[in-house]
Copies of this chain bind each other. A is one copy, B any other.
Amino acid sequence: MSEKEDYLVGEFPFIPRQERAQQKRKALLESGQILFAAKGYEQTTAKEIAAHAKVATGTFYRYFSDKRQLLMALLEDEIDNFLAPEPHWFSSNPEFVLASLLETHANRLQKSGLYRVLPEILSKDLELAEVMQAARIRIHARILSGLQLIYEKGLTWRDLDLDILAWSIMILVENGHEKERQGGNRINYQELAKVICRLVFPPEVLEKLRNDGEA
């Protein structure tokens, strides 16, 4: 195959080593993602991934030390997607902004499908569990600091614990995409956003924000 590319002067005689290698790596990653999402981690064998990526079994182990490492490489890129995105509250219509945030998040998850393996992995991979936990703490902290901002401006309920509030928001945002699967009708992100905003803004604040936005 590569011989056919040789006869052109001035062209790359072949795809550079590294690039070709990276193509295989990429193919393996993609195949891993597809198969993990479809069949689960344990149920997918290294051989299958290699076959799906159209490389030999041994090649798998040139690019990844083992099956776990391939999964980690996949998760590395996605881990932040699994967690709740951070809502931004300053807007004339926070409910609407939040709703689209929720939808985007759900779509991202559904697309990769990889979140399906997470529960399977977390129970056996302490290291990954720690990474995830750290990420969640980060997310929680970010949501919390956002809440503190609006707290200082007197825009939020004064009788709720901000830490718990942040955690509740994180949980709801994180799980929003599951509603459909877990029981019931397709989720209405607009309504979920409304519920979350109720936890953050007293009704009169929400009203005021809208008016300010229009003005």
Known A42-B42, A157-B198; further 20 A-B contacts with Cβ < 8 A:
A40-B124, A43-B124, A117-B123, A119-B120, A119-B123, A136-B183, A137-B184, A140-B183, A160-B198, A161-B191, A161-B194, A163-B185, A164-B192, A164-B194, A167-B179, A167-B184, A167-B187, A195-B199, A198-B199, A199-B199
Please tell me if A81 contacts chain B, counting CB pairs below 8 Å.
Answer: no
Q: List 19 A-B contacts (CB under 8 A).
A: A40-B124, A41-B123, A42-B124, A43-B124, A119-B120, A133-B181, A140-B183, A160-B198, A161-B191, A161-B194, A164-B187, A164-B195, A167-B183, A167-B184, A167-B187, A168-B192, A171-B172, A175-B175, A198-B199
- Residues of B near A41 (CB, < 8 A) are 123
CB–CB B161/A188 < 8 A = yes
A171 in contact with B175 given A40-B123, A182-B133, A184-B137 (CB within 8 Å):
yes
What distance in Å separates the Cβ of A76 from its nearest Cβ neighbour in chain B?
Answer: 20
Q: Is the interface of A mostly helix, strand, loop or mixed?
A: helix
A165 at the interface (CB under 8 A from B): yes
Chain B residues whose C-beta falls within 8 Å of the C-beta of A195 in the assembled complex: 160-161, 164-165, 168, 199
Interchain CB contact under 8 A, A137 and B194: no
A159 interfacial by beta-carbon distance below 8 Å: yes
Q: Which residues of B contact A133 (CB under 8 A)?
A: 181-183
Q: Is the CB of A122 within 8 A of B119?
A: yes
Number of residues from A at the complex interface, CB < 8 A? 44
Chain A stretch 89-123: residues in CB contact (< 8 A) with chain B: 116-120, 122-123
Q: Would you give the shortest CB distance from A131 to chain B, in whole angstroms?
A: 12
Cβ of A39 under 8 Å from chain B: yes
Q: Mark A21-36, 1 if CB is under 8 A from B, else 0.
A: 0000000000000000
Distance (Å) between the CB of A83 and the closest chain B CB? 10
